[in-house]
Structure 1
Amino acid sequence: MKLFNSCLIVFLIAFSTSAQDFSDIDKSPMDAVITRNQDNSPLARIIYSRPKKKDRVIFGELVPFNKIWRTGANEATEITFYEDVLFNGTEVEAGTYSLYTIPEKDKWTLIINEKINTWGAYSYDKSLDILRTAVPVKSTAASVEDFSITFKSTRVGSDLLMGWDDTFVEVPVRKVE
């Protein structure tokens, strides 16, 4: 019986060690952020993947200037508006879209595109753009290791913030009244 128990313990330890192997975990994990109206109803949600800086030069090298970017890693970033909004002052109907960007040194062009469920920007189709808008680039107070998207609540809606490395942009998102 002692031998059986000893063998069982060795088996369980070996099994639990191999069952905990996370070596194939996504290097740019998926994340989601949501912003809500004052009545707690959802206004917008973003699903995206978060690549890491890893001592690389990001904007201008890893993410080239003046080229379409999926705004993260893996699949194109997805944005859902639960009601009609003003996105940087331009009205966008409720729905789910892809969010692309074109980073430049002093501004980013943000693109809301009708085609969803796409990998990267490889099948980006400019004819499906419903909005293009530019916002100025700002400098972060400290380097951001993981590409990050969040919403900051304001008195009249939310501001969408996207940042990585030493750069971020801010875009007002407001409920259409």
Structure 2
Amino acid sequence: MKRIFLAGLLIFALNVNAQVQTPAASPHAELEQVVGLTEVKVDYSRPNMRGREIFGDLVPYGAIWRTGANATTKFMIDKPVMISGKELKPGTYSLYTVPGEDMWEVVFYTDDSNPLITEFEEEKVALRTMVEPMEMPMNMETFTIVIDDVMADSAVLNILWANTVVPVKFNVMTDAEVMKSIDLALAGPSAGDYYNAAVYYLNSGKDIEKAKMWMNKAMDMTEKPGFWQYRQQSLILAKAGDKKAAIEAAKKSLEGAKAYGNADYIKMNTDSLKEWGAM
């Protein structure tokens, strides 16, 4: 019994102290590229040819391929992109392909948990497109994914291995985003900008007249101010010496707080109104 116990300890010690490290057969790789204003990332593993016939043999024609090794390749975007006239929403997708001699099917799949599948569940197919492969004049030994032809509003996701490249062009919404930002900038500060600036000035002890002006602008631009906004307005008005207007704002804040059942704001407004001689 004692010998068995000692043998077990020896095996455990050998396992704990084992420090031999070997390179991965298909090393992990990450690709990041900003296209226009859209961030694109690809996470994948990179097998080598090692003298093998790849497409039509190691990777059969007509079968679903995880487009790499070890795990499914991940395609991540932070804004919508257009592929073959169809929109792919922001998110993380498994990138599957179905290689063919003449055409490849490229599928962006919503299940990104590394599923090894033999057929697609249609409800999980976010977008599919057909792409014509191109023959390269030389072999790409290591499986590679690159983003090339990077323009302000488009780029090409190139899948390369052996003597084959599969170019998947995608478009980004750069023009719409830029026009929106231009419109917002030229329209001037928003109600939220004025409100945040006013509250900051109040809490930082800065120019209270500026804070009052900004808060008045914010309230004028807001269709239905919240009771918390009226509360901040009342404090600014009181500090600016406009007690009458401060009381009016505090009463509106109190009314809104009661409607929402917010005990904290009910108490704060009640205390202020008492302090200002309105109760």
Superposition TM-score tier, normalisation by shorter sequence: 0.7 to 0.9
Partner Cα separation in structure 2 for residue 42 and residue 32 of structure 1: 17
Query: Residues 104-137 of structure 1, C-alpha deviation per residue, up to 9 Å, x if partnerless?
Result: 0011100011101215446963431111100001
Question: For residue 33 of structure 1, what is the aligned residue in structure 2?
Answer: 31
Q: Higher relative CO (CA 8 A, sep ≥ 6), structure 1 or 2?
A: 1
**What is the CA–CA distance in structure 2 between the aligned matches of 1:81 and 1:107, rounded to whole Å?**
25
Distance 1:73 1:27 in 2: 9
Superposed counterparts of 1:52-91, under 5 Å? 52-91=48-87
1:154 partnered with 2:151: yes
Give the length in aligned residue pairs. 156
Root-mean-square deviation (CA), in Å? 1.9
* 1:83/1:139 CA distance change after superposition, 3 Å: same
Tell me the residue number matched to 2:164. 167
Range 44-53 or range 155-164, more displaced: 155-164
| Alignment partner, residue 8 of structure 1 | none
Q: Is the 8 A contact 2:103 2:130 kept in 1?
A: yes
Distance 1:78-1:48 versus aligned 2 partners, 3 A rule: same
Contact 2:35–2:152 (CA under 8 A) maintained in structure 1:
no
Q: Which one has a larger percent helix, Structure 1 or Structure 2?
A: 2
CA contact (8 A) 1:35 1:158 kept: no
- Please tell me whether the aligned partners of residues 101 and 110 of structure 1 are also in contact (alpha carbons under 8 angstroms): yes
The runs of 5 or more residues in structure 1 that have no matched partner are 1-17
Distance in 2 between the 1:50 and 1:122 partners?
Answer: 21
Separation in structure 2 between the aligned mates of residue 132 and residue 48 of structure 1, nearest angstrom? 19
Letter of the 1:164 partner, please give it: W
Tell me the CA shift for residue 169 of structure 1. 0.8
Indicate conservation of the 8 Å contact 2:64/2:119, yes or no. Answer: no
Q: Could you state the TM-score of these two structures normalised by the residue count of structure 1?
A: 0.81
Residue 43 (structure 1) aligned with residue 42 (structure 2): no
- TM-score, normalising length from structure 2? 0.52
- The answer on whether the counterparts of 2:140 and 2:163 sit within 8 Å (CA) in structure 1 is yes
Q: Which amino acid aligns with 1:99?
A: L
> Hey, what's the Cα distance between the residues in 1 that align with 2:71 and 2:116?
5
State the shift of 1:87 in Å.
Answer: 2.1
Larger Rg: 2
Cα distance between partner residues in 1 of 2:73 and 2:122? 16
Partners of 2:35 and 2:165 in 1: CA distance: 24
Find the aligned partners of 2:98 and 2:32 in 1 and give their Cα distance. Answer: 23
Q: How many Å separate the matches in 1 of 2:103 and 2:151?
A: 23
Conserved in 2, the CA contact under 8 Å of 1:83 and 1:94?
yes
- Give 1:51 deviation, angstroms: 0.7
Is the CA contact (8 Å cut-off) linking 1:72 and 1:147 kept in structure 2?
A: yes
The structural deviation recorded for 1:22 is: 2.9
1:95 aligned partner: 91
Q: Secondary structure at the match of 2:29?
A: strand
Aligned-pair identity (%): 29
The Cα shift of 1:34 comes to: 1.7
